[in-house]
Structure 1
Amino acid sequence: MTRIHVTYTGGTIGMVESAGGLVPGADLRGWLYRLLEDESDLRTEDVTLTELDPLIDSSNATPESWQSIIDDLWAHHDSADAFVVLHGTDTMAFTAAALSYALTDFDRPVILTGSQHPLGTIVSDATANVTGAINAALSGKARGVTLFFGHHLFAGNRVTKRSSWAFEGFEAPSTGPVAQSGTPWHWAHMDAEGRGWTDPRPYRRYDVPVVTFVPGVRAQRLARMIDPRPDAVVLRTYGVGNIPSDEPGMSRLVADLADSGVPVVVTSQCPQAEVMLGRYGAGASMDRPGICGADDMTFEATYTKLMFLLSQGLTTSDVCRWMASSIAGELAEGGR
């Protein structure tokens, strides 16, 4: 019999109405064990549950929150065969990507899931998502860190939230799902190859502003956003890595930031894209040491990977080298 450990972090699935809106407070433990008795072949003694303290709305998640989940997973590593993490949907894609980098040597499947509606409502998708995640855990086919939602299983570092209300609220723009639930489930090839990371240091919080370019933005605004100097910067650029290069001083600001030793990571605003620095004249200034492209990574995978690499104490050149190399399958074809 497969043993499953569940880590409950908070989120909509276990929330209740209050005068201040939805807050954690439902009897998640009782609901989960009743669900297992009614809708699975698992015995309750084969399922353990940790409720993290404090339970949070995932909008309040931080890198330290990711580390709390990682610590709980490792604490139960030897007593379970598969793991399910119940998480709020707002930042679940960030957490899934963060876990994928830190758990390359975990050798157990980890499936994240949650719901768009609380478990106590008649319209809730909680039961479908939790039973789907458990079925994925029991399948023997899930690998690494994945996310189950709306009848689809996705690689954890390839997924993004696409809707705040639809039951199929997540997608993997560049790769598609690795499985779709049904009778029977349909599985695609799970390409999660990467170089891995042995004995990673814990996640820490760093000052990493995210700058989204929009038509008409001025260089003075960027200058204010990077003063004082941050630990790193993520630029959400146009297309394959273009910025408003005709804006006086914009290209120079970015170049000076990189020259000062601050890692600059360039990602695209397009959900499906491949960053190619210098491909267009508007992005030529970005093709220089200290500035690294995110290739075809999602924004969530890019941001959390940068946090992971900073937490390892790497130099700017090593950060850029690893951004271009796959740790856990977050890049196409294992990195370029």
Structure 2
Amino acid sequence: MRLHVTYTGGTIGMVESPDGLVPGADLRGWLFQLLRQGSDLDSSKVSLTALDPLIDSSNATPGSWQSIIDDLWRFHDSADAFIVLHGTDTMSYTTSALSYALTDFGKPVVFTGSQHPLGKIESDATANVTGAFNAVLSGHAQGVELFFGHHLFAGNRVTKASSWAFEGFASPITGPVAQSGTPWHWNDAGSEGCGWRNPAPYRQHDIAVVTMVPGISADRLASMLAPHPQAVLIRAYGVGNMPDAVPGLTDAIRAVADGGAPVIVASQCQQAEVMLGRYQAGAGLAEVGACSAVDMTFEAVYTKIMFLLSQGLGAADFTDWVGRPIAGEVSSPQQ
């Protein structure tokens, strides 16, 4: 098997500096030494790209996602499987984003990283990287996935759960695809999607993210939505509720919706299905034409909005696609 590794930066290859951790470790040397010492894989069949510049994943943008996509396609015909080394802070955003853009890629892409740099004795880098290699070598990996802390997750069903624990990621709705061990235990791969042929590249778009909190006022919400964004993602309570007793709050959202910007409602709960209008407190969102994120993670719905805007969809098609699974990111079509 021929493998390609894309290194984007992140904690795994960082070193100490006067300003804190920054990229700078000899990741290439470490990786190939790891392969020589602990793998039957011929290192001559492994290629590596270090993106320029290497970044802390906190600085990732839609352009960063596209750079990874472009690198994967560049090596598509010369490799059988792919590993992406990425920082943990936004890795679940990137895996979600790539899952939509690579539905016709046809080869497994497994992301991983670490909570501690590879040069630290307490580092989890070796365990995570060898786990990612084992996942792609198993023949079971498919689509875009993320390996971390002994678990393999669907890339668009995962969220970062801890900034310090070695099991730093979780998949609260669907659970992991597999757990490493002797032998590995594989679970149901989950639902598939409609796919998306020949997607347009990711572009930066203005998405407003609003979290409903007790005491929010209509004036504050209106100021957060001025000027009007291209889309609004509301992190509501429970199954899609908001304070319906606050005068003018729904009107502030209606003004944006009437201006043509789609309004999408996700839940603040990690385990939830958004059902607009199930409670009276969610009726206002349904009345202004907001659509449900169903049971998508926050990362999955945010990147899906960015993906759909990058495809240049009209309002009706956009709303339709929010609830339709492109790559298994949502359990069922929006009702």
When normalised by structure 2's length, the TM-score is 0.99
The yes-or-no answer on 1:211 pairing with 2:210 is yes
- In 2, Cα distance between the equivalents of 1:74 and 1:16? 30
Change (3 A) 1:42 1:66: same
Matching residue of 2:305: 306
Give the counterpart letter for 2:225 in structure 1.
I
Deviation at 1:287, TM superposition (A): 1.2
Q: Check whether the contact 2:170–2:176 (CA below 8 A) recurs between aligned residues.
A: yes
Moved more, 110-119 or 255-264: 255-264
Give the 5 Å matches for 1:321-332: 321-332=320-331
Deviation at 1:256, TM superposition (A): 2.2
The yes-or-no answer on 1:235 pairing with 2:234 is yes
Q: Check whether the contact 2:323–2:333 (CA below 8 A) recurs between aligned residues.
A: no
The yes-or-no answer on 1:286 pairing with 2:292 is no
Give the counterpart letter for 1:140 in structure 2.
G
- In 2, Cα distance between the equivalents of 1:259 and 1:291? 11
The yes-or-no answer on 1:100 pairing with 2:99 is yes
- In 1, Cα distance between the equivalents of 2:213 and 2:316? 28
- In 2, Cα distance between the equivalents of 1:65 and 1:36? 27
Deviation at 1:316, TM superposition (A): 1.8
Q: Deviations over 1:2-39 (max 9, x none)?
A: 11100000000000000000000000000000000011
Secondary structure (helix, strand or coil) at the match of 1:85 reads: strand
Deviation at 1:209, TM superposition (A): 1.5
Unmatched runs of 5 consecutive residues or more in structure 2: none
Matching residue of 2:14: 15
Q: Check whether the contact 2:253–2:288 (CA below 8 A) recurs between aligned residues.
A: no
Q: Deviations over 1:165-207 (max 9, x none)?
A: 0000000000000100000000011024100000000000111
Q: Check whether the contact 2:114–2:123 (CA below 8 A) recurs between aligned residues.
A: yes
Secondary structure (helix, strand or coil) at the match of 1:332 reads: coil
Q: Deviations over 1:268-303 (max 9, x none)?
A: 000111000111101101114641110000000000
Q: Check whether the contact 1:194–1:334 (CA below 8 A) recurs between aligned residues.
A: no
Secondary structure (helix, strand or coil) at the match of 1:210 reads: strand
Matching residue of 1:194: 193
- In 2, Cα distance between the equivalents of 1:56 and 1:63? 13
Q: Check whether the contact 1:6–1:86 (CA below 8 A) recurs between aligned residues.
A: yes
- In 1, Cα distance between the equivalents of 2:334 and 2:169? 24
Q: Deviations over 1:239-283 (max 9, x none)?
A: 011111111100111122112111111000001110001111011
Q: Check whether the contact 1:290–1:317 (CA below 8 A) recurs between aligned residues.
A: no
When normalised by structure 1's length, the TM-score is 0.98
Change (3 A) 1:159 1:63: same
Identity of aligned residues (%): 68
Give the 5 Å matches for 1:163-202: 163-202=162-201
- In 1, Cα distance between the equivalents of 2:72 and 2:41? 20
Q: Check whether the contact 2:174–2:190 (CA below 8 A) recurs between aligned residues.
A: no
Secondary structure (helix, strand or coil) at the match of 2:174 reads: coil
Give the RMSD, CA atoms, in angstroms.
0.9
- In 2, Cα distance between the equivalents of 1:287 and 1:30? 55
- The total of aligned residue pairs comes to 335
Q: Check whether the contact 1:290–1:316 (CA below 8 A) recurs between aligned residues.
A: no
Secondary structure (helix, strand or coil) at the match of 1:286 reads: helix
Q: Check whether the contact 1:154–1:177 (CA below 8 A) recurs between aligned residues.
A: yes
- In 2, Cα distance between the equivalents of 1:49 and 1:166? 28
- In 1, Cα distance between the equivalents of 2:246 and 2:287? 19
Matching residue of 1:277: 276
Matching residue of 2:133: 134
Q: Check whether the contact 1:82–1:108 (CA below 8 A) recurs between aligned residues.
A: yes
Secondary structure (helix, strand or coil) at the match of 2:207 reads: coil
Give the 5 Å matches for 1:18-57: 18-57=17-56
Q: Deviations over 1:86-135 (max 9, x none)?
A: 00000000000000000000000000000000000000000000000000
Moved more, 282-291 or 164-173: 282-291
- In 2, Cα distance between the equivalents of 1:104 and 1:176? 21
Deviation at 1:334, TM superposition (A): 6.0
- In 2, Cα distance between the equivalents of 1:128 and 1:326? 32
- In 1, Cα distance between the equivalents of 2:287 and 2:7? 43
Give the counterpart letter for 1:193 in structure 2.
E
- In 1, Cα distance between the equivalents of 2:125 and 2:107? 24
Q: Deviations over 1:123-159 (max 9, x none)?
A: 0000000000000010100110000000000000000
- In 2, Cα distance between the equivalents of 1:81 and 1:102? 18
Give the counterpart letter for 2:247 in structure 1.
P
